[in-house]
Amino acid sequence: MATVRLDERRVRKLKPRKSAYDVRDRILKGFGVRVMPSGAKRYFIHSQHQGRRVWKIVGEAGSIGTDEARNRAKTVMAAIREGGDVQSAASPDIAFETVADEVFRRYARNWKPSTLNVNRGYYRNQILPWFEGRPIAGITAQDVKQWFASLHETPVAADRSAPILSVIMRQAEVYGYRPEGTNPCAGIKRYRRQGRERFLSTAELRRLGQVLACHEADHPQFVAIIRLLLLTGCRRSEIVTLEWRDYREGKLFLRDSKVGPRTVWLSSAAREVLDSLPRRTVWVFPSPQSGNCVSVGTLDQAWRCMRAEAGLPDVRLHDCRHTYASTALAHGETVLTIGRLLGHLNPATTLKYTHMSDLTVREAADVVGAVLEG
The model's confidence at residue 340, banded by pLDDT at 50, 70 and 90, is low
Name the least confident of 60-64, 159-163, 278-282: 60-64
Write down the CATH number for the domain with range 2-81.
3.30.160.390
Q: What percent of the chain has pLDDT over 90?
A: 34
Instruction: Inform me whether the pLDDT recorded for 225 exceeds 90.
Output: yes
pLDDT at 246: 92
pLDDT at 32: 92
Report the sign of the C-alpha dihedral through residues 134, 136, 140, 145, in that order.
Answer: positive
Average pLDDT, the chain: 82
- DSSP code at position 286: B
For the chain, domain boundaries: 2-81, 96-174, 202-362
Calculate mean pLDDT across residues 295-323. Answer: 89
Domain 202-362 of CATH type 1.10.20.10 = no
- DSSP code at position 57: E
Residue 269, amino acid: A
- Please tell me if the domain spanning 2-81 has the same topology as the one spanning 96-174: no
Report the sign of the C-alpha dihedral through residues 166, 169, 174, 180, in that order.
Answer: negative
Q: For 256-277, what is each residue's pLDDT tens digit? A: 766 668 888 888 988 999 999 9
C-alpha to C-alpha distance for 294 and 256, rounded to whole angstroms: 17
Q: Is the model more confident about 247 or about 88?
A: 247
Evaluate if pTM is beyond 0.75: no
pLDDT at 13: 92
The model's confidence at residue 370, banded by pLDDT at 50, 70 and 90, is low
Q: For 183-193, what is each residue's pLDDT tens digit? A: 999 888 887 65
| The 2-4 sheet, strands edge to edge | 2-4, 21-25, 31-35, 41-49, 52-60
pLDDT at 188: 85
The model's confidence at residue 343, banded by pLDDT at 50, 70 and 90, is low
Instruction: Inform me whether the pLDDT recorded for 91 exceeds 50.
Output: no
Name the least confident of 66-75, 134-143, 180-189, 363-372: 363-372
C-alpha to C-alpha distance for 250 and 232, rounded to whole angstroms: 12
CATH topology of domain 96-174: DNA polymerase; domain 1 (1.10.150)
Instruction: Inform me whether the pLDDT recorded for 249 exceeds 70.
Output: yes
Distance (Å) of CA 187 to CA 55, 144, 166, 182, 191: 25, 11, 11, 12, 13
DSSP letters for 122-170: HIIIIIHHHHTTSBGGG--HHHHHHHHHHTTTSHHHHHHHHHHHHHHHH
pLDDT at 88: 43
Q: Is the model more confident about 164 or about 263?
A: 164
305-329 b/e (C-beta count within 10 Å ≥ 16 → b): ebbeebebeebbbebbbbbbbbbbb
